[in-house]
Amino acid sequence: MDGAALKDARLASSSTQVDSARLLGVTQAYLSMVERGTRPVSAELASRAAAVFEVPPTTLPLGTYQPVSRSELAFKQLLGALGYPGFAYLRGNLTLNPAALLMEALDSEDLDSRVTEALPWLPLTYPKLDWDWLMRNSKLRDRQNRLAFVVSLAIQLAAQKKDVALKAALESRLQKLEPSRLAAEDTLCKDSMTKAERKWLKAHRSRAAKHWNLLTDLTAEQLDYASL
């Protein structure tokens, strides 16, 4: 998002520069400079703008990926801000590009199970993610198997909703991940599981989980939003 896009979003909402500055937590003079391009749109300002105006969160800036440590509550709040129904009650004023949120979650060693269950909702709801950025960074962090499995669940959900176009779009993304499939065994963001849990999951995981060498029993049928 640049200053021109921010201005377009403000005008589309019929908001004055003064009112918008107040809602965004900046001065009118600063907002004017941003809209003219003499000041950059910071990540925080872009996040606030996405919450205040009708700005698609997929347009929020994506920089160089850096691993971060987010709390369980922070993940839930960010998912709620993006519209995830399970955490709608936690929706705040800040949001994050869904591609960045998905990457951060996939890169987590131990993720709350309710947050993990929300991950397929991201590509299902935001199919126009910056897939190049997401796939590049997932490969750099050896998280492509996790990403592929999440996409495979989203494909199943798209099929249940009879959304042929979405299913096809997601399948094309999955095909691009296939050549980089890792042979090493991994978990779906649950590295702390015991040896007994790992042994049980290896015997009871789904076909998709087995294909992507993940120890997880998560299936599309378990996702509460599948029927929404």
- 3-state secondary structure string, 50-96? HHHCCCCHHHCCCCCCCCCCCCHHHHHHHHHHCCCHHHHHHCCCCCC
Span(s) in the chain for CATH 1.10.260.40: 3-55
For the entire predicted model, the pTM comes to 0.81
- Residue with tokens 């869904």, as numbered in its chain: 98
pLDDT at res. 228: 65
Which of 224, 188, 219, 189 shows the shortest CA–CA distance to 88? 224
Which CATH architecture is the domain 3-55 placed in?
Orthogonal Bundle (1.10)
* DSSP H/E element including 175: helix 164-177
Residue 51 has pLDDT above 80, yes or no: no
Question: For 74-88, what is each residue's pLDDT tens digit?
Answer: 999 999 989 999 998
**What is the per-residue pLDDT across 7-40, written as a single tens digit (0 to 9) for each?**
888 888 889 999 999 999 999 999 999 999 999 9
Q: Please give the pLDDT value at position 4.
A: 86
